[in-house]
Amino acid sequence: MNVLIVDDEKDLTNALSAILKQHNYAVDCAYNGEDGLEFALSGIYDVIILDVMMPKIDGFEVLRRLRAKNVSAPVIMLTAKSDVPDKINALNGGADDYITKPFDTQELLARIKALLRRGAKIADNTLKIGNTLLDRDTFELIVGNDKIPLGKKEFQILEILMLNANKCVEKERLIEKIWGYDSDAEYNTVEVYVSFLRKKLSAVKSDAEIRSIRGIGYTLGVKND
């Protein structure tokens, strides 16, 4: 499961990320509201942990913009404030839960699990475009009775493209999301993995097509759309 933590307290955020990774969550971190919003709009996260008081854009505004864009991932608001009006604002704004700092990490883990259990978003953990399914549990590409396994980075690229179907996804964004901000991966690295994906889509007779936007990135659509 994919978790996004958006909090400007870097020590806390990095410690929480390490704990979640120990419990087999895939974790991304953002340290201000602007970056957090950009990450969250990708639509790949199963849970978002969102601080209220942050530079650039505060957590309430990030939440408002996410819900306005129909991002339905469960959101846990994380804040030092325990005032009832703040809690009401968070919940009325579309938050699914609210936890006050300092908190016990076991409690936070329990709240994450509770949201995942009841979240309709993950009831069927597959993505679909055209005749093609992506199984997010087994990392398999499926068309009818044909299945083919994907490597981790192949899966991550295809997942992002499917979640943003018919939209241009920039190569730079793929590198940041999959290899990380500090990676020395280059555009030709992405191109190699996209080439692998195209061959696997062809092998299972998928009608999904990865189209190159010259000098920018890729879109995923159904052939002849």
pLDDT tens for each residue of 92-145: 778 888 888 888 889 899 989 888 776 544 445 788 899 999 988 889 999 998
Q: Please report the domains of the chain, with CATH numbers, ordered by start residue.
A: 2-122 (3.40.50.2300), 126-222 (1.10.10.10)
Q: What is the pLDDT of residue 183?
A: 74
* CB 3 within 8 Å of CB 20: yes
| Residue 49, beta-bridge partner list | 5, 76
- Euclidean distance between CA atoms 47 and 27, whole angstroms: 10
Helices 33-40 and 59-68, axial angle in degrees (round to 10)? 20
Q: What is the pLDDT of residue 215?
A: 86
Instruction: Tell me the average pLDDT of the chain.
Output: 87
- Could you tell me which of 56, 103, 60, 94 has the C-alpha nearest to residue 75? 94
Sign, Cα dihedral of 108, 109, 112, 118: negative
